[in-house]
């Protein structure tokens, strides 16, 4: 078997691809043939040494991967050889709120998915919806679960509420699709008319250009008759604008505001938070229970994450560089075989 390994802080150039003996699953473990891994900002932050959670040296990167069960260890009952599964990003997070006990993450502390054979505990696996290819399904463990948590992990979004999504990243697109399925009205922000069209095709009821309208918070509020939106899925947006857009009593799900990620935005004051009267709820991915609940609607609505481009397993460094440049819509996926 072959795996990528990282040196934290050494960036993409610090990645090495190495040969190992094939592993055998121990008690409670499952051996997966990994078929696809979706790239994310986490990989870049981990490689650059900017990730807020601890990174173990020489760890296998890649937090979001899917594959096929090829062998199971003693005591395993949740899956069987041949099952198509995803590994959960936080394998110990089964249900309930996130906590320190669950912080050991794939691709930063535990060996991740940029490998052809992966060992996983059976509790950290979730079956894939049948209608998705491996490449499509690779977006589920991180991007889609995060979007689901953003919409349902606090007070669940109700039909008739208004949800604001920011930009065209994977989490935002999936949140848009899920919010429409949940009966919500969706306002989306974007930078360009071309992306605006894509957002409308995915179901956005209104699109606001954040370049043309730097004070987009006020514009979004205007689109809700001055009331403000009920919920924002704020993925590295300008939180001050999100606060301006949100209704008294609304909720801002804060996603991916890593260290330094928002250096362009103005500093916040606690008075701005207080006067907005909205709950700010940071979140990181979601639990296995949330993943399974989400899969039910992914399956019943036959939702398909958008795959923008696929790279081969040998092309991981190129794929990461491509990902880092941004400017695309949809997922960048490594095909392992």
Site for its own copies in 240-279 (CB under 8 A): 247-249, 254, 256-262, 265, 267-271, 273-279
Nearer Cβ to its own copies, position 54 or 249?
A: 249
Structure token pair of residue 1: 């078997």
| Site stretch for its own copies (CB under 8 A), options 5-13, 24-32, 60-68, 316-324 | 24-32
How far apart are the C-alpha atoms of 48 and 55, rounded to whole Å? 11
Nearer to its own copies, 50 or 310 (CB): 50
Does 222 bind its own copies (CB under 8 A)? Our answer is: no
| N residues, the chain | 337
Does the footprint of its own copies cover residue 27 (CB under 8 A)?
yes
CB of 310 to its own copies, least distance (A): 28
DSSP string covering 217-238? HHHHHHHTTTS-EEEEEEES--
Interface with its own copies, residue 37, by CB under 8 A: no
Work out how close the CB of 5 gets to its own copies at its nearest, in angstroms, rounded to a whole number: 19
Smallest distance from the beta carbon of 256 to its own copies, in angstroms?
8
Closer residue to its own copies, CB minimum distance, 302 or 309: 302
Number of shown-chain residues binding its own copies (CB under 8 A): 75
Q: How far apart are CA 124 and CA 292, in angstroms?
A: 11
Q: Based on the shown chain and the rule CB under 8 A, indicate whether residue 121 belongs to the binding site for its own copies.
A: yes
The enclosing H or E element of 87 equals strand 84-87
Q: In the set 1, 10, 17, 181, which binds its own copies (CB under 8 A)?
A: 181
CA distances from 172 to 168, 265, 286 (A): 6, 19, 15
**54 vs 193, which CB is nearer to its own copies?**
54
Site string for its own copies, 73-102 (x = CB under 8 A): xxx--x-------------x-xxxxxxxx-
* Smallest separation (angstroms) from its own copies to the CB of 4: 22
Q: Is 227 in the site for its own copies (CB under 8 A)?
A: yes
CA distances from 144 to 98, 191, 217, 248 (A): 17, 22, 25, 27
Instruction: Please state the closest distance from residue 268 (CB atom) to its own copies, in A.
Output: 4
- Residue closest to 290 by CA, chosen among 69, 141, 95: 95
Quick check: 202 and 177 in contact, CB under 8 A?
A: yes
Contact 142/89 with Cβ under 8 angstroms?
yes
Rounded least distance, CB 303 to its own copies, Å: 10
CB atoms inside a 10 Å sphere around CB 13: 9
Cβ pair 98, 298 in contact under 8 A: no
21 sits near its own copies (criterion: CB under 8 A): no
Do residues 281 and 250 lie in contact, with contact meaning Cβ atoms separated by under 8 Å? no
Q: At closest approach, how far in Å is the CB of 241 from its own copies? A: 11
Q: Closest distance between its own copies and the C-beta of residue 59, in Å? A: 15
**Which range in 193-201, 293-301, 304-312, 314-322 contacts its own copies by CB under 8 A?**
293-301
Q: Can residue 333 be called a binding residue for its own copies (CB under 8 A)?
A: no
Torsion angle in degrees (nearest 10) through CA of 244, 249, 252, 253: -170
Distances in Å between the alpha carbon of 128 and those of 117, 131, 311, 321? 18, 9, 21, 28
276/329 with CB nearer its own copies: 276
């Amino acid at each position: 078997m072959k795996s990528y390994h990282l040196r934290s802080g050494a960036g993409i150039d610090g990645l090495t691809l190495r040969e190992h003996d094939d592993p055998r699953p121990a008690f409670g473990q499952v051996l997966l043939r990994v078929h696809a891994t979706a790239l994310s900002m986490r990989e870049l932050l981990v490689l650059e040494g900017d990730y807020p959670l601890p990174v173990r040296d020489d760890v296998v990167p890649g937090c979001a991967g899917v594959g096929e069960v090829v062998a199971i260890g003693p005591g395993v009952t949740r899956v069987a050889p041949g099952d198509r599964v995803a590994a959960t990003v936080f394998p110990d997070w089964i249900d309930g709120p996130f906590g320190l006990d669950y912080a050991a993450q794939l691709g930063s502390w535990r060996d991740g998915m940029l490998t052809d054979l992966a060992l996983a505990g059976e509790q950290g696996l979730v079956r894939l919806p049948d209608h998705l290819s491996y490449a499509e399904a690779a977006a589920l463990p991180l991007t889609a679960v995060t979007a689901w948590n953003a919409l349902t992990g606090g007070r669940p979004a109700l039909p008739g509420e208004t949800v604001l999504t920011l930009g065209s990243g994977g989490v935002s697109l999936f949140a848009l699709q899920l919010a429409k399925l949940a009966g919500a009205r969706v306002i989306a922000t974007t930078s360009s008319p071309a992306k605006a069209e894509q957002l409308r095709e995915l179901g956005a009821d209104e699109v606001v250009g954040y370049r043309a309208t730097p004070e987009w918070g006020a514009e979004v509020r205007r689109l809700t008759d001055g009331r403000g939106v009920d919920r924002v899925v704020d993925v590295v947006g300008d939180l001050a604008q999100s606060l301006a857009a949100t209704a008294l009593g609304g909720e801002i799900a804060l996603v991916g505001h890593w260290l330094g990620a928002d250096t362009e935005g103005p500093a916040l004051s606690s008075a701005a938070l207080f006067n907005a009267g909205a709950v700010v709820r940071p979140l990181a991915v979601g639990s296995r229970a949330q993943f399974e609940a989400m899969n039910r609607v992914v399956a019943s609505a036959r939702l398909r994450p958008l795959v923008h481009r696929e790279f081969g397993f040998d092309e991981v460094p190129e794929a990461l560089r491509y990902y880092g440049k941004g400017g695309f819509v949809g997922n960048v996926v490594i095909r392992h075989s």
